[in-house]
Amino acid sequence: MKARTMSAFLAENIEQVPHKEVVISTRIKDEDGNPIPWELQPLSTSRVRKLRKKATKQIKGVVDVDIDELNFAMALESVVFPDLKDPALQDSYGVMGEEQLLDKILLPGEYDELVGQVSALCGYNSQELVDEAKN
């Protein structure tokens, strides 16, 4: 058994999670017909805690996290490219706001792919998401 060492926990020794490029929709293509990847960034624990708090409701003494609201908020926060805040992009879909834009750009299955990619990038595995949804 290897000896435990505190130096492994020092900030400079921990592997950083880089931004990730992933194809979310094969319908969005470049001039050559190749799908354009989206750029996603990992979210900090503190940011996810804030998003989780906003998605938490208390009804008749029962505290419940709206997992759909949390996933949507995490997806919005994670997307670096395309710039969902871009006015020209929003105008092209006839919407105002990144929430409405994301809803218009992606089909339901593509949205689920985005949520899965963001969750994985933030360190969640699929079983943790299943457990979270049950609670």
pLDDT of residue 134: 46
Task: Give the domain ranges of the chain.
Answer: 18-134
Gap between the Cα atoms of 97 and 85, Å rounded: 7
Q: CB neighbours of 130 closer than 8 A, spacing ≥ 6?
A: none
Q: Widest CA span of the chain, in angstroms?
A: 61
Helix (H) or strand (E) holding 88: helix 87-93
The pair of three-digit structure tokens given for residue 102, joined into one six-digit string: 């994301």
Q: What is the pLDDT of residues 25-62, one digit of tens each?
A: 999 999 999 999 999 999 999 999 999 999 998 888 88
pTM for the full predicted model: 0.83
> HSE on the CB side for 40, CA within 13 Å?
25
pLDDT of residue 105: 96
pLDDT of residue 48: 95
Question: Which top CATH class is 18-134?
Answer: alpha beta
Give me the residues of the chain with pLDDT under 50, please: 127-130, 133-135
pLDDT of residue 60: 84
pLDDT of residue 98: 95
The pair of three-digit structure tokens given for residue 69, joined into one six-digit string: 């609201």
